[in-house]
Amino acid sequence: MGPIKDKEKKDHESTKIDINKDVLYDIVKSHINDMVFIMRLEEGPSFRYVFANEPAKKYAGLQNDYVGKSLMEVLPKQQATNIHNQYVRLLEEGQSITYQDELICPEGERLTNESIVTAIEDKNNSIQYVVSVTRDISPLIYEKEQLQSAKERYQAIIDNNLDAIYVLNVHGEIIEANDAALKLTHYTREKLLKVGFEKLFTKENEVIIKKLVTDTINGQSMTIDFCSLLDTNGKECFTQVKSIPILVNGKCDGFYAIVKDITTQYKQNETILHMSLHDQLTGLWNRKALDEHVSRMITLMEKQSGEFSVIYLDVDRFKIINDTFGLQGGDEFLKRITTRLKKLTNSRSFLYRQGGDEFIYVLENESSSNTERFVQKILAQFKEPFCYEDQEFYISPSIGISRFPKDGYDAESIIQKAFQALFEVKEKGRNHYRFYESHMELRFPNYIMMEAHLRRAIEKEELFLHYQPQVNLSTGKVESFEALLRWNNRKFGFVSPAQFIPLAEETGLINPIGDWVIEKACEQIAVWRNKGHVNVRVAINISPKQFLQDKLIETIGHYLEKYNIPPTSLEIEVTEGAMKDTQQALNMLLKLKHLGIYISVDDFGTGYSSLNYLKSFPIDILKIDQSFVRELQQSKKDEAITMTIIHLAHSLGLEVIAEGVEQEGQVQFLQQARCQKAQGFYFSKPMSASDIEKQLELLH
């Protein structure tokens, strides 16, 4: 025996505790939780209880006289047989065996025991005793089962998830992936496990993905809202990535990366965004986009001390195109116009459809002289006719221009200034362009506000009629008047009918307003008649919109009756334009004539209609437009036209009246030409009814 072995023996002896056998017995008997049985082996073989500690006695239901009893005497038959068989197995197999058995308690609880059974031999190696140490392992089994089912549940969530889920280790390597992950990338499982996680995404996302991996491994969950991924075919799809660290005992053991495919949602959002910023008909940017872009451009130009132009374009007389070809035809024209306008767009000139027939260019960083050159190019686009249904049409635009920073500091006012400049162009004869100037502001009416006020004009009693006498040129007497509408608004003051009548027509307000005029005129006729002026006649203006409504006949008839006046005391003035649709106009005029009222053609000579209608329409009077009268004695041409109109009227048996007579010379000309009546400032301005009454007394 060497020195090392000697040392071991010594150590062993020094640690050996001299424990009393009784103490050991007591520990086993009362303090061990496991059940300990010692059985004596007898012939048969059979096994008899020699010793059972407290838990064993309790479990097997042993009474105090258990010593010497056999298994069969103590336990239920089935259980006893099972244990007996295990003990026999021990005898066959040798030193020690382990087995599990299950016991169902009377309460239904399932108990599982695990037993280690050992044989104790005597000096002659013959087995004397069998020792069974049995432990209730039910809680352990329960815990194991719970763990297994939790694992299965969690695995099912991963496996069946519609989002791609990758499990990564602490080195950021993919160690597991669900089916959705394979479907998203088109990799096989084997290949996917070899590809680096960040390699799944496009190059631009490399940095952010690397950050996600490091942050998550450090225990921090992270979300990337938008990240594009490339599949094995190189097809790009848009994803959202979320990482969740897997923490085991507070330490990160890897992480989950959930990759959601948001391609459809992204594309839908893109479409919605595109639609919200584009005009459907022309595909151009719309008003919303314009506001956004101009606001952005202001910020940009402010930084760069730059300038830009807003060019507001409106197609002249587009309403006529719409009226003639219908809305579909109008749309076709707009598309064709768009095609031409688009030719002028580039990286610094952007085109928008503002709405209707209005287009806007924004020229980034352009001087006013360049803008002017650009506008010339726009006008040049309209030099060639537009073809529609095998016919050629010439269309012209009117253009207003505003400039940043000169004309305003925010999008709304800059666009508004361009519109004011456009308005000025429209007022001054169209087909041209103008830069905004501050004086334009004063002339520009706020139509929206005006409409709101006009809506309440009747109820607020802001409307009234003025009457302009019509003088018989051979007798000098006044027998008739033209009723002219006046509007005195508390905000806008006196507004010219030339401004508010078109607004009323556009908004449909012309109907209640027109009815109001008919009633007031009839009422006034009745008042004058009651005062003895029984031959008085009043002419009222009927707007084309009103004229085409059947209701008009009913309304006029109703008021004639209500105020008990003869139809011959009422005259209606209709413009040539209103008689465009000949059949409908003829029907209407016949019905009006049937009522017995007079009908005159207002502003005669300025419309586009053929003179043919004069023969067939039941017309009584022609009113020579003031534009011809104004130039009498100065323009031979206008004199000739006036003469012709007077002759025409006479030859058709119509009465003729000249409007806008301001000078004596004009009166003389008209008298010589045998024009029956005249109306104008030379005789009298339009006046209130009470002022007229004073005149009537003078005249009669």
- Coarse DSSP helix, strand, coil percentages of the chain, rounded to the nearest 5 percent: 45, 25, 25
- Interhelix angle 510-530/689-699, rounded to 10 degrees, is 40
Q: Which residues contact residue 376 at a Cβ distance below 8 angstroms, ignoring those fewer than 6 apart?
A: none
Determine, following the binding rule CB under 6 A, whether residue 52 of this chain makes contact with ligand C2E: no
Which residue, 75 or 501, has its beta carbon nearer to ligand C2E?
501
CA dist., res. 161 & res. 92, Å (int): 54
Determine, following the binding rule CB under 6 A, whether residue 517 of this chain makes contact with ligand C2E: yes
Determine, following the binding rule CB under 6 A, whether residue 468 of this chain makes contact with ligand C2E: yes
Shortest distance in whole angstroms from residue 572 CB to ligand C2E:
10
Subset of 474-493 contacting ligand C2E (CB under 6 A): 484-485
CA dist., res. 510 & res. 516, Å (int): 10
Which residue, 309 or 468, has its beta carbon nearer to ligand C2E?
468
Determine, following the binding rule CB under 6 A, whether residue 464 of this chain makes contact with ligand C2E: no
Q: Which residues contact residue 272 at a Cβ distance below 8 angstroms, ignoring those fewer than 6 apart?
A: none
Shortest distance in whole angstroms from residue 510 CB to ligand C2E:
7
- Print burial letters for 276-307: b (CB count within 10 Å at least 16), e (below 16): ebbbeebebbbbebbeebbeebbeebeeeeeb
Q: Judged by CB under 6 A, which stretch of 248-256, 416-424, 606-614, 674-682 contacts ligand C2E?
A: 674-682
Determine, following the binding rule CB under 6 A, whether residue 496 of this chain makes contact with ligand C2E: yes
Beta bridge partners of 238: 228
Determine, following the binding rule CB under 6 A, whether residue 664 of this chain makes contact with ligand C2E: no
Helices (H), 189-250: 189-194, 206-217
Determine, following the binding rule CB under 6 A, whether residue 349 of this chain makes contact with ligand C2E: no
Q: Which residue has the tokens 């413009």?
A: 575
Q: Judged by CB under 6 A, which stretch of 119-127, 190-198, 604-612, 654-662 contacts ligand C2E?
A: 654-662
Q: What is the separation of C-alpha 658 from the centre of its chain, rounded to a whole number of angstroms?
A: 56
Determine, following the binding rule CB under 5 A, whether residue 332 of this chain makes contact with Mg ion: no
Determine, following the binding rule CB under 6 A, whether residue 408 of this chain makes contact with ligand C2E: no
Determine, following the binding rule CB under 6 A, whether residue 541 of this chain makes contact with ligand C2E: yes
Q: Which residues contact residue 602 at a Cβ distance below 8 angstroms, ignoring those fewer than 6 apart?
A: 541, 573, 574, 575, 576, 623
Determine, following the binding rule CB under 6 A, whether residue 497 of this chain makes contact with ligand C2E: yes
**198 exposed, middle or buried (CB, 10 Å; 0-12, 13-18, 19+)?**
middle
Q: Which residues contact residue 563 at a Cβ distance below 8 angstroms, ignoring those fewer than 6 apart?
A: 522, 523, 525, 526
Q: How would you classify the pairing of strands 222-230 and 358-364?
A: unpaired
The closest alpha carbon to 111, from 86, 78, 75, 136, belongs to 136
Q: Which helix (H) or strand (E) holds 487?
A: strand 478-489
The CA-to-CA distance between both ends of the chain, in Å, stands at 164
The interface partner of residue 517, options being ligand C2E, Mg ion, none and the CB cut-off 5 to 8 Å by kind, is ligand C2E
Which residue, 357 or 573, has its beta carbon nearer to Mg ion?
573
Please, what is the Cα angle at 433 between 438 and 440, to 5 degrees?
A: 20
Q: Judged by CB under 6 A, which stretch of 28-36, 249-257, 415-423, 497-505 contacts ligand C2E?
A: 497-505
Total binding residues toward ligand C2E, as defined by CB under 6 A? 23
Determine, following the binding rule CB under 5 A, whether residue 603 of this chain makes contact with Mg ion: yes
Of 660, 669, 692, 696, the one binding ligand C2E (CB under 6 A) is: 660
Q: Which residues contact residue 612 at a Cβ distance below 8 angstroms, ignoring those fewer than 6 apart?
A: none
Subset of 654-683 contacting Mg ion (CB under 5 A): 659
Question: Which three-class secondary structure state does DSSP give residue 666?
Answer: helix
CA dist., res. 526 & res. 569, Å (int): 9
CB closest to ligand C2E, residue no: 680
CA dist., res. 134 & res. 149, Å (int): 27
Determine, following the binding rule CB under 6 A, whether residue 600 of this chain makes contact with ligand C2E: no
Shortest distance in whole angstroms from residue 604 CB to Mg ion:
8
Shortest distance in whole angstroms from residue 556 CB to ligand C2E:
14
Determine, following the binding rule CB under 5 A, whether residue 602 of this chain makes contact with Mg ion: yes
Neighbouring C-alpha atoms within 13 Å toward the C-beta of 369: 0
Shortest distance in whole angstroms from residue 538 CB to ligand C2E:
11
Q: Judged by CB under 6 A, which stretch of 26-34, 154-162, 245-253, 537-545 contacts ligand C2E?
A: 537-545
CA dist., res. 698 & res. 281, Å (int): 63
Site map 602..641 versus ligand C2E, x via CB under 6 A: xx----------------------x---------------
Q: Which helix (H) or strand (E) holds 448?
A: helix 447-455
Beta bridge partners of 657: 623, 677
One DSSP character per residue, 282-311 reads T--B-HHHHHHHHHHHHHHHHHHT--EEEE
Of 134, 243, 541, 569, the one binding Mg ion (CB under 5 A) is: 541
Site map 420..449 versus ligand C2E, x via CB under 6 A: ------------------------------
Subset of 572-601 contacting Mg ion (CB under 5 A): 573
Structure tokens at 556: 């006029």
Determine, following the binding rule CB under 6 A, whether residue 543 of this chain makes contact with ligand C2E: yes
Shortest distance in whole angstroms from residue 640 CB to Mg ion:
20
CA dist., res. 235 & res. 271, Å (int): 20
Of 290, 501, 678, 696, the one binding ligand C2E (CB under 6 A) is: 501
Of 1, 19, 327, 498, the one binding ligand C2E (CB under 6 A) is: 498
Identify whether 445 is preceded by a cis peptide bond (ω within 30 of 0): no
Determine, following the binding rule CB under 5 A, whether residue 279 of this chain makes contact with Mg ion: no
Q: Judged by CB under 6 A, which stretch of 119-127, 296-304, 390-398, 658-666 contacts ligand C2E?
A: 658-666
Which residue, 424 or 515, has its beta carbon nearer to Mg ion?
515
Q: Judged by CB under 6 A, which stretch of 302-310, 400-408, 429-437, 680-688 contacts ligand C2E?
A: 680-688
Which residue, 407 or 482, has its beta carbon nearer to ligand C2E?
482
Which residue, 515 or 573, has its beta carbon nearer to Mg ion?
573
Structure tokens at 94: 């040798």
Determine, following the binding rule CB under 6 A, whether residue 680 of this chain makes contact with ligand C2E: yes
| Chain contacts with Mg ion (rule: CB under 5 A) | 541, 573, 602-603, 659
| Chain contacts with ligand C2E (rule: CB under 6 A) | 468, 484-485, 496-498, 501, 517, 541-543, 573, 602-603, 626, 659-662, 679-681, 686
